[in-house]
Amino acid sequence: MAARVALQLTGVERHYTQGDNSLSILKGVDFSLKAGQTVALVAPSGTGKSTLLHLAGLLERPDAGEVLINGVSCGTMGDQQRTAIRRNDIGFVYQFHHLLPEFTAIENIMMPQLIAGLAKAEARERSAALLDYMRIGHRAEHRPAELSGGEQQRVAIARAVANAPLVLLADEPTGNLDPETAGYVFEALEALVRQSGLAAMIATHNYQLASLMDRRVTLENGKVVELD
């Protein structure tokens, strides 16, 4: 059976107005990503990568076109319904970890699961397993400030997948790390994606890391174009 499409964008446009000027960033993006597929979004700064990820993650609404998550069009949904989809079906990783500083690593990963209604013991068990998988089980009780950049980012990745989303969106998740650390964080991310079968779209400037993904795309004249 063919894998289902986890994320689809059709004719997506996004324009910003600055004073009297209108800036067209996305001019009819058509893109789809199947469950279990990974794609690297490799494009220069300012071309609209973050904008695209925000639209795909239902953080913003397009000016035209549609975003479908798991085949369901989200355009006409109210904010509450979009928030529910974002919480259940989408995981985010940013360049900076955005972990809650007053909570430990494991508590940070438990948080979205508790919000989703999982029992505390179950959430703790699942979080511990994710930390082990990311090879930082021994750092579970440390707060973010006590972790290295690579460890913080691995906690952020574990948190993003804690609720077993359908789609993982990452905006330069290793952009803030030295090359060696970036390499192993990216490998951990890739292994996790493979193991869990989610669809992942990862914006990165690193071609070497991008080569680990199933597909590579770029943004050209406001549209998504396949590379190689």
Residue ranges binding ligand ADP (CB under 6 A): 16, 18, 23, 25, 43, 45-51
Cβ proximity to ligand ADP, 43 vs 118, nearer residue: 43
Q: In the bound complex, what is the minimum distance in angstroms from residue 56's beta carbon to ligand ADP? A: 12
- Residues with Cβ within 8 Å of 104's Cβ and at least 6 positions away in sequence, in order, are 140, 141, 142, 143
Cβ proximity to ligand ADP, 34 vs 223, nearer residue: 223
Q: Which amino acid is at 87?
A: R
Cβ proximity to ligand ADP, 43 vs 193, nearer residue: 43
Q: In the bound complex, what is the minimum distance in angstroms from residue 11's beta carbon to ligand ADP? A: 18
Q: In the bound complex, what is the minimum distance in angstroms from residue 43's beta carbon to ligand ADP? A: 6
> Which value, to the nearest 10 degrees, does the dihedral of the CA atoms of residues 221, 190, 160, 145 take?
-110
User: What's the CA gap between 48 and 25, in Å, rounded?
Assistant: 6
Cβ proximity to ligand ADP, 48 vs 65, nearer residue: 48
Q: In the bound complex, what is the minimum distance in angstroms from residue 170's beta carbon to ligand ADP? A: 12
Give all strands of the β-sheet with 167-171 in edge-to-edge order.
90-93, 167-171, 199-203, 38-41, 215-220, 223-226
154: left (phi over 0), alpha (psi -120 to 50) or beta: alpha
Cβ proximity to ligand ADP, 16 vs 207, nearer residue: 16
Q: In the bound complex, what is the minimum distance in angstroms from residue 46's beta carbon to ligand ADP? A: 4
Q: Is 116 exposed, middle or buried (0-12, 13-18, 19+ CB in 10 A)?
A: middle
Q: In the bound complex, what is the minimum distance in angstroms from residue 45's beta carbon to ligand ADP? A: 4
Cβ proximity to ligand ADP, 11 vs 46, nearer residue: 46
Interior/surface letters 54-80, b for 16+ CB within 10 angstroms, e for the rest: bbbbbeeebeebebbbbeeebeebeee
169: tokens are 């969106």
Q: In the bound complex, what is the minimum distance in angstroms from residue 114's beta carbon to ligand ADP? A: 31
Measured between alpha carbons, how far is residue 192 from residues 133, 160, 213 in Å? Answer: 8, 11, 13
Cβ proximity to ligand ADP, 57 vs 144, nearer residue: 57
